[in-house]
Amino acid sequence: MSSENQYDIAILGGGPGGYIAAIRAARHGLKTALIEKEKIGGTCLHWGCIPTKGLLQNAQVFRHCTESDSFGIRTGEVSYDWEAIMERQRGIIDRLHKGVQSLMKKHQIEVIPGFGRLASPTSLEVETQEGARIVQAKNIVVATGSVARSLPGVQLDEERVISNVGALTMKKPPKSLVVIGAGAVGVEFASIYRTFGAEVTILEYLPKLVPLEDEEVSKYLFRCFKKAKMNVQLGVAVQTVENRGDHVQVTYKKGEDLVEMEAEMCLVSVGRKPIVEGIGLENTKAKVERGVIVVNEYCQSDEPTVYAIGDVIGNYLLAHVAEVEGLLAVDHIAGKGPEPIDYSAVPRCTYCHPQIGSVGLSEKECEEQAIPIEVGKAQFMPNGKAMALGETDGFSKVIRHAETGELLGGHIIGPEATDLVMEYVVAKKNRMSAASIAHTIHPHPTLSEVNLDALHSAIGEPVHG
């Protein structure tokens, strides 16, 4: 085996977790290879987080233009150029992709294009355009990510019956869209295409939108979506989705009734499936249970030389979690003695309209765990900055331990909630008391004052209530 095929660490998968891990490994002085079958950046950069946020911003600008009369600005009839919108999206992706590629070169990371699979605990076989290549590595990090799930009997064709990929590559917005699944992906695309004029129907099996969020947040989003004239059906079970050529026919069960409806397109957003099959794990001692790779607190599998991060270990299928897991795994490989990740302080962000940002326990979870709590809440409605922005929907909610005062959870729905939640994330991670944040000066006028009002309310010192 030539030295050019021998590495200290080889990373299988070039998404956010994989390429961040590669950079950290190179900074530790480890000879690093990164194996990626498509493009560096993974689903997040090319088919997920980034292009979706680009589209959401386009939708927000379009919405502001249609509502400009309320700001005293007369624009006349407002229209959009879908091809220009798509071009802007591609431009953002291209710039970020080139940035990641330059980082690979800067840190002398060898990027090997091709499909890789583990041949042993310390080697991978990579199918490249030039043929098979064996890569030897002292340690391997599996970061293969996930793919969109579908429903039994529902075939994704990315034309009429689509996943997130089809939703980001359509030639024009549909006149009507059925969204199956009301998690983050579903409600984000529902917001986007409703803003661009589509008649949107959301079908959710569970009894609430964004099922992982606090009950009050879910109910508030439901009211906002109804106000936006979306058809939201909760507690329903989809039976069939058929591509009829020029439309789709969806059949779902509501109670004892079977309901049929037609739409131009159907988006299936019912979660993602970790990629753990076909990558050679059977050639190692690494275990797969319930569809994910079993790892310890350092992301190390039962095979000491094989680590796994991101979607394939199933903790949180979020890019920012994969990145932190990548850093942890590499630091452990390098013998840096890292601290395990505190998963109780993972921020959850949903970029629908209005936005949702949350961290920690919900009120219901606290009740289920018999934790004594005090809750504070404040609306965006009376906030001066929110009024100036014309974005007054929503609230900020704080949950603290009634005895210790520690902040247990923070839940925001409203303008820039995905940024505002970071204040609560820092507090949760550092086990801070709600009082200590409430007694911290917040700038005026800012949206952060809504958090401040919620904190004051939680500690029994309401200022504006």
Tens-binned pLDDT, residue by residue, of the chain (465 aa): 455 689 999 999 999 999 999 999 999 999 999 999 999 999 999 999 999 999 999 999 999 999 999 999 998 899 999 999 999 999 999 999 999 999 999 999 999 999 999 999 999 999 999 999 999 999 999 999 999 999 998 999 999 999 999 999 999 999 999 999 999 999 999 999 999 999 999 999 999 999 999 999 999 999 999 999 999 999 999 999 999 999 999 999 999 999 999 999 999 999 999 999 999 999 999 999 999 999 999 999 999 999 999 999 999 999 999 999 999 999 999 999 999 999 999 999 999 999 999 999 999 999 999 999 999 999 999 999 999 999 999 999 999 999 999 999 999 999 999 999 999 999 999 999 999 999 999 999 999 999 999 999 999 998 886
Residue 128 lies in a domain: yes
> What is the rounded CA–CA span in Å between residue 200 and residue 138?
51
pLDDT the model gives residue 5: 81
pLDDT the model gives residue 1: 47
Residues whose CB is less than 8 angstroms from the CB of residue 353 and which lie 6 or more positions away in sequence, other chains included = 56, 59, 60, 63, 191, 195, 224, 228
pTM attached to this predicted model: 0.95
Residue 348 lies in a domain: no
Q: Are residues 241 and 120 in the same domain?
A: no
Q: Are residues 336 and 290 in the same domain?
A: yes
Q: Are residues 140 and 279 in the same domain?
A: yes
Residue 176 lies in a domain: yes
Task: Exactly one of 107, 444, 456, 464 is catalytic; name it.
Answer: 444
Tally of structural domains, the chain: 3
> What is the rounded CA–CA span in Å between residue 438 and residue 461?
9
Residue 463 lies in a domain: no
Instruction: Judge contact between 450 and 379, C-beta under 8 A.
Output: yes
Q: Are residues 220 and 286 in the same domain?
A: no
Q: Are residues 260 and 278 in the same domain?
A: no
Q: Are residues 450 and 366 in the same domain?
A: yes
Look at residue 233 and give its three-state secondary structure. strand
pLDDT the model gives residue 464: 81
Q: Are residues 373 and 435 in the same domain?
A: yes
pLDDT the model gives residue 325: 99
Q: Are residues 65 and 126 in the same domain?
A: yes
pLDDT the model gives residue 3: 58
Q: Are residues 185 and 263 in the same domain?
A: yes
110-113/32-36 β-pairing: parallel
Q: Are residues 166 and 212 in the same domain?
A: yes
CA atoms within 13 A on the CB side of 72: 1
| Phi and psi torsions of 248, nearest 5° | -115, 150
- We report the CATH number of the domain holding residue 8 as 3.50.50.60
Residue 465 lies in a domain: no
pLDDT the model gives residue 153: 84
Residue 115 lies in a domain: yes
Q: Which two tokens stand for residue 65?
A: 């233009």
Query: Of 270, 304, 334, which closes a domain?
Result: 270
> What is the rounded CA–CA span in Å between residue 69 and residue 76?
9
Residue 153 lies in a domain: no
Q: Are residues 32 and 58 in the same domain?
A: yes
Query: Of 255, 270, 285, which closes a domain?
Result: 270
Compute how many other C-beta atoms are within 10 angstroms of the C-beta atom of residue 94.
Answer: 10
Is 442 catalytic? The answer is: no
Q: Are residues 43 and 109 in the same domain?
A: yes
Query: Of 310, 343, 376, which closes a domain?
Result: 343
Residue 464 lies in a domain: no
Q: Which domain holds residue 368?
A: 354-458
Instruction: Judge contact between 89 and 54, C-beta under 8 A.
Output: yes
